[in-house]
């Protein structure tokens, strides 16, 4: 991300909700509750605060509306907490994607 920023390249958060796997994370859920938002909203806001474009995929109109309602700021300490979460090890059926498999 630093290299992209230094070169004027805007990065996209590919699947900012990690194909739903991030929604299963207890820390994400607890942090979202602290801001009175849904975990998906916290994930989208997190990437926006990192300076990235976040494009969550959903066909559900209510989820689309909720995902766009990110008018809050995650504190520096909570950003640090989220940055240091244990990496997701299994993305289920999506684990074959290179971005998730580490290949």
Q: What is the pLDDT of residues 4-42, one digit of tens each?
A: 889 999 888 878 888 888 999 999 999 999 999 999 999
Please give the model's pTM, rounded to 2 decimal places: 0.84
Q: Which residues is 51 bridged to in the sheet?
A: none
How far apart, in whole angstroms, are the C-alpha atoms of residue 53 and residue 84?
Answer: 20
What pLDDT, in 10s, does the model give residues 32-90? 999 999 999 999 999 999 999 988 888 888 988 888 889 999 999 999 999 999 887 76
Contact status, residue 46 vs residue 74, Cβ threshold 8 Å: yes
Residue 12 three-state SS: strand
């Amino acid at each position: 991300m630093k290299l992209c920023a230094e070169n004027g390249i805007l990065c996209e958060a590919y699947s900012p909700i990690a194909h739903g796997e991030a929604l299963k994370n207890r820390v994400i859920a607890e942090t979202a509750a602290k801001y009175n938002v849904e975990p998906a909203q916290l994930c989208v806001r997190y990437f926006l605060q990192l300076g990235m474009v976040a494009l969550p995929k959903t066909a559900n109109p209510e989820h689309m509306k909720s995902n766009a309602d990110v008018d809050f700021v995650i504190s520096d300490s909570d950003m640090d907490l989220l940055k240091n979460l244990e990496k997701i090890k299994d993305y289920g059926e999506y684990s074959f994607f290179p971005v998730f498999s580490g290949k």
